[in-house]
Amino acid sequence: MPIRQPVDVVVVGAGVVGAACAYYASRSGLSVAVVERGPVAGGTTGAGEGNLLVSDKAPGPELDLALLSLSLWRELAEELPADIEFDPKGGLVVAAGDASLAALSASAEGQRASGVEAYHVTPDRLRDVEPHLAPGLAGGILYPQDCQVQPALAAARLLHAARRAGALFLPDEEVLEICGEPEGGGVRGVRTPRGELAAAVVVNAAGTWGGRVAALAGVELPVQPRRGFVLVTEPLPPLIRHKVYAAEYMADVASGSAALQTSPVVEGTPAGPVLIGASRERVGFERTLSVPVVARLASQASALFPVLADVRVLRTYHGFRPYLPDHLPAIGPDGRMPGLFHACGHEGAGIGLAPATGSLIASVISGEKPALDLEPFAPDRFDPLVPCHMTEEWTS
C-alpha cells in the first residue's frame, strides 16, 4: 500500500454538499481529501433538479440556513471559474381553492418576517406571471428569490475549485472504516481498500448513505432514503417562466409519512425540456420504475398547465433524498466521537443548502464562530444518551 500524506480533513462523499465542504475547508487553509466510492455527483446530486428554494421552507433553522446559502450561491456564481447555470428564475406557488390559499398566505406572512420576499398574486394576474396556467386557480405567491443551478455542474465546479486550492480527490474509493484512537480518543482517519488515510477530522457528507457511514464510526444517524421521480419532456419553446408548484407540495415536504405523496412541480430548462415532479415515498433503495407514480405526475402537471397535455415525455428518472425524522439536516460535530462531523440528511434541499453547510462546517473546524447556531442541526440530537449536543472542543 502506498503511504499517503496525512491531511487535516477527510470528506466522505463528492455530491454537492461534500464538494462545498471541501471548497470552504480548502479556502480556509485546511488540507483536504475527498473520498468518493463513485464519480462526482453520482448519487442524489446527479438526480436533482438544482433547486435553490426559500419558498418551501417555514420560518426557523432551515429557512435561516437557506437564506444564508442563497447569498453564498450568488457569490459562487460570480467566483467560480466556470458556469454553473445559475438562474434567478423565481418561484410561483399556486392554490387551487380558498382554503389552500389562506394557508399559503399565512405561511408567506411568516416567511416575510424572516426576510423572504413573497408577493400575493391575485387570480386575475396569475396568467400575467405564467401565461399557460390553468384557469380557475384561487391565487398564488410569487417568490423572486428562488433560483436554480445545474447540480452536477455545480458539484464538479466546487470540487475543481477545491482541488485548485490543494484538495485531493479520490474517486472510486469506498470508505470501509472510520478509524478511531483507542479509549474514545477521537478520529484518526479513514480506511479504504487502498489503505488508511490519516486525518484528525472526518466529515460525513455521504447523502442517503450518511447513516451507513456514521455506523462505520460506531454512531447512529437515522438517515433514510426517500424516493422521488422526475419526468423530462421533449424540448419545447419557452413556456414556463418560473418554478411553479401547487401549495400542497409544501405539506408533502414537511410530512413524515412513508406513504406515496405527489403534488405538481413544473419548471422549464434553458435547453427546452420541461421537468415535472414531485413524488415522495420511503421504499428503501427500491429502483423499480413505478408507472402509477409517473402517470399521476403527468396528470397533475397537465392539470396545472393544460398546454402540456399532448407533450411527449422522453424519459423519467428517480433519486433518493436523504431523510431525517425532524426534516433538518445533520450539520456539525458529533459529540459521541471527537473529530467526526456530519453534513448530510438535507432531504430534497441539499443542493440549495450546500454552500451554507460547507461554510459552517469549515468555520467550526477552523475554530471560528459559525454564522448560524448549529444546535438545531446537532447530529447527535436523536441519541437520548447524549445530554449535550455540541462538545466544548468544537464550540469554544
Instruction: Tell me which of 299, 323, 347 is where a domain ends.
Output: 323
Cell digits for 343? 453534513
Is 78 part of a structural domain of the chain?
A: no
Q: Domain check: are 25 and 117 in the same one? A: no
Whole-number pLDDT of residue 1: 54
Instruction: Give the whole-angstrom CA distance, residue 350 versus residue 365.
Output: 21
Supply the CATH number for residue 11's domain.
Answer: 3.50.50.60
Q: How far apart are CA 336 and CA 322, in angstroms?
A: 21
Q: Which residue among 273, 306, 323 closes a domain?
A: 323
What are the grid coordinates assigned to 107, written together? 405561511
**Same domain as 290, residue 229:** yes
One domain for residues 12 and 123: no
For residues 166 and 50, membership in a common domain is answered with yes
Q: Locate 354 and state its grid cell.
A: 450546500
Is 247 inside any structural domain? yes
Statement to judge: residues 137 and 165 lie in one domain: no
My answer on whether 56 and 158 are in the same domain is: yes
Do 99 and 217 belong together in one domain? Answer: no
48 with 177, same domain: the answer is yes
pLDDT tens digit at each of 396 positions of the chain: 565 899 999 999 999 999 999 999 999 999 999 999 999 999 999 999 899 999 999 999 999 999 999 999 999 999 998 899 999 999 999 999 999 999 999 999 999 999 999 999 999 999 999 999 999 999 999 999 999 999 999 999 999 999 999 999 999 999 999 999 877 789 999 999 999 999 999 999 999 999 999 999 999 999 999 999 999 999 999 999 999 999 988 877 777 777 889 989 999 988 899 999 989 999 999 999 999 999 999 999 999 999 999 999 999 999 999 999 999 999 999 999 999 999 999 999 999 999 999 999 999 999 999 999 999 999 999 987 665 444 444 443
One domain for residues 228 and 298: yes
Task: Indicate whether 57 and 158 sit together in one domain.
Answer: yes
How many degrees, rounded to 5, is the angle at CA 77 between CA 72 and CA 83? 150
CATH number, domain at 254? 3.30.9.10
- For 218, the domain range is 7-64+151-222+327-394
Assess if residue 270 is contained within a domain: yes
Residues 36 and 158 in one domain: yes
Positive or negative: CA dihedral 15, 372, 370, 345 = negative
| pLDDT at residue 395, as a whole number | 40
Please state the pTM of the whole predicted model.
0.94
**How many structural domains comprise the chain?**
2
pLDDT for position 181: 87
Give CA–CA dist 68/71, Å, rounded: 5
* 80 in a structural domain: no
- Looking at 323, 348, 372, the residue that finishes a domain is 323
Note whether 304 and 234 are same-domain residues.
yes
